[in-house]
Structure 1
């Protein structure tokens, strides 16, 4: 499971210690933000079901629907999330269309 720290904003507050990542067993991107006041769970937790969010855009749309945002992600982090998903799926992240995308971001080897 990959985990990267980002800032999530919304509803008049900000969480600079929010987590975005990829969960291989669930095959989904996830987002966790804002410590819950009573439990150990995050108050905002997206990506808890199988293949729930297969793209960053889908994850962002779900966050926006709940009044939160985390964009823009740095290009290097967006690429890393794609690579994490590719590695978990067992395909080379630097081949084909993904390689072209990374070249446009100037992140390829």
Structure 2
């Protein structure tokens, strides 16, 4: 799994999270974005990329973030290049098949 720190802003107000995380999750074969942790528990105001092949491009992830009222700063060239390379090497990975994968599919279908 690749993880990079990025700044995410909440559109329409002055909030920003300079410690947000963007990356690629090989088992789920998706890009993900996590931002704005709740100080009282483990919840996040923004967590995209939790399903199999949910966001297969950074552009799709960015569009989803915008649709939820969030935006993120452009990634540095070396980070976006590393993410693209990680995606390229992992994109053809077969889906996980086993008890844990079955449980995750079941939970996602609800």
Report the TM range for the smaller structure's normalisation.
0.7 to 0.9
The aligned counterpart of 1:48 is 50
Counting only pairs closer than 5 Å after superposition, residues 22-101 of structure 1 correspond to structure 2 as 22-89=24-91
- 5+ residue gaps, structure 1, are 92-109
Structure 2: tracts of 5 or more residues without a match: 94-110
TM-score computed with the length of structure 2 as normaliser: 0.76
- SS of equivalent to 1:31: strand
- Misfit runs of 4+, over 3 Å: none
TM-score relative to the length of structure 1: 0.76
Higher RCO (CA-CA < 8 Å; seq separation 6+): 2
Q: 2:15 aligns with which of 8, 13, 16?
A: 13
1:14 & 1:61 partners in 2: Cα distance?
18
Provide the aligned C-alpha RMSD in A. 1.6
> Is the Cα–Cα contact under 8 Å of residues 48 and 61 in structure 2 kept in the other structure?
yes
Aligned residues: 91
Secondary structure of 2:24's counterpart equals strand
| Cα drift, residue 52 of structure 1 | 0.3
Tell me the alpha carbon deviations over residues 40-76 of structure 1, each in whole angstroms, 9 at most, x when there is no partner: 1322100000000000100000000111111322222
Distance (whole Å) between structure 1 residues aligned to residue 78 and residue 91 of structure 2: 20
